Amino acid sequence: MRNAILVRAGIWGLTSSGLLAGSIGAQAIAPRSAEANAAVSQAARTLPGFWTTFRKAALAHDAAGIARLSAPIVTQRGELDDVPVKRLTPDQVPPVLAKLLAQPDGVDDAGRSQRAMLAATPVPRRDPQMPADRFRFGDMEFTHGTAGWRLTQIYYEAED
């Protein structure tokens, strides 16, 4: 059902092999197993459940886990508004996230990397100023939708 919705919305299309491919980058993605989808769906229903699963995947450099917990399109923005916005498929997110986690976020008084901050945060701390369906941690933003919580936005500008 989810695949049909994404195809109708024009976000994804079928390749000649029958696998889904995003319109951005036209990279084929094999369908997830029913067990993997069920585990992600169950964990993603609540923010604490999602956070535990996402945090574990990010700290373990689990690219497949990070991809499963990412939205179909993750927006990558720079620090300034004039930096071009990139649209990442779930498979493109893990290497960008790894680079992001190696950097400080510029807010932490101790100057820790975002990875160290993630390791030190087993329970998500919500900002009451944020809408109930959004959560921000460091330079990552998460949104709650019909599929549960997903990583939807990354603020990371590659250094050339």
Pairing between β-strand 148-155 and β-strand 140-145 as defined by DSSP bridges:
antiparallel
pLDDT at 82: 79
Query: Which residues does 45 contact at the CB level (< 8 Å), separation at least 6?
Result: 148, 149
Number of H helices, E strands in the chain: 6, 8
Q: Kindly state the tokens that stand for 36.
A: 């993997």
Whether residue 149 has pLDDT greater than 90: yes
The torsion defined by the Cα of 63, 77, 11 and 17, in degrees rounded to 10, comes to -40
Task: Give the pTM.
Answer: 0.73
pLDDT tens profile 85-139:
999 999 999 999 999 999 987 777 888 999 999 999 999 999 999 999 999 999 9
Instruction: Band the pLDDT of 53: cuts 50, 70, 90.
Output: very high
